Amino acid sequence: VNCRPGTFLDLISMQNCNLTNLPENYSMRFYLYHYLVNPEMIQIAELPHSHKVIGYVMSRMQERNNIQKEPPYGGITSVSILRTYRKMGIAHRLMRCAHRAMGEIYGAEYVSLHVRETNTAAKHLYLKTMGYHLHEPHIEYYADGETAYELHCSTKREL
Ligand code: ACO
């Protein structure tokens, strides 16, 4: 499996991956906007011969309310790996690339994300494998009423 930065040609494959795997879906306009604003912030996993896209991570730099007081920080918008290719370390590889891009290109001090309380696989990846910590729970964050855990991780951390 190859991991590489995504381009706008990957956006339809990413949308397919997202629709198959997650209840949080986005319009093509959102993907295009995300790509234009954060061109280095999409990481793709693809099969070497067919170039089939089997996973992605979308990240972004977050808007800050107070530039003097808040350090630059990044956010993970969405991560998804097609079912057949899970538990092979691919999400971890993509997340490491995303952290590096945010830390080195944009000087992000830490990365923030939201994950569903019941998402065992994603919580293992973030909390156990990558060393994210719980920043704050958000009750009824998702449209169906589920709680989100807001997790943070320093970009200085060895991943
Ligand atoms: N249950 C328990 N642990 C798991 C599971 C699982 N179902 N799946 C993976 N893990 C563990 C792995 O064993 C590994 O642990 P280790 O480092 O202790 O050995 C660790 O998580 C990382 O595994 P990867 O192989 O890198 O993860 P994978 O490529 O399978 O992708 C992901 C994980 C992205 C959560 C995948 O299951 C998926 O696409 N799920 C559906 C979409 C989703 O939930 N995305 C995250 C939403 S939150 C957000 O987007 C910010």
Q: What pLDDT, in 10s, does the model give residues 65-98?
A: 888 888 999 999 999 999 999 999 999 999 999 9
Centre of ligand 1 to C-alpha 90, Å, is 9
Alpha carbon of residue 65 to chain centroid: 22
SS3 42: strand
Query: What is the reported pLDDT for 32?
Result: 92
Average pLDDT over the chain, rounded to whole? Answer: 93
Residue nearest to atom 26 of ligand 1 (CA): 89
Atom of ligand 1 nearest to the CA of 122: 35
Alpha carbon of residue 43 to chain centroid: 9
Report ipTM for this prediction: 0.98
Rounded to the nearest 5 percent, the helix, strand and coil shares of the chain are 35, 30, 35
Q: Please work out whether the CB of residue 54 comes within 6 Å of at least one atom of ligand 1.
A: no
Q: What pLDDT, in 10s, does the model give residues 7-47?
A: 989 999 999 999 988 888 899 999 999 999 988 899 999 99
Mean pLDDT value across residues 131-145:
96
User: Cα–Cα distance between 80 and 54 in angstroms, integer?
Assistant: 8
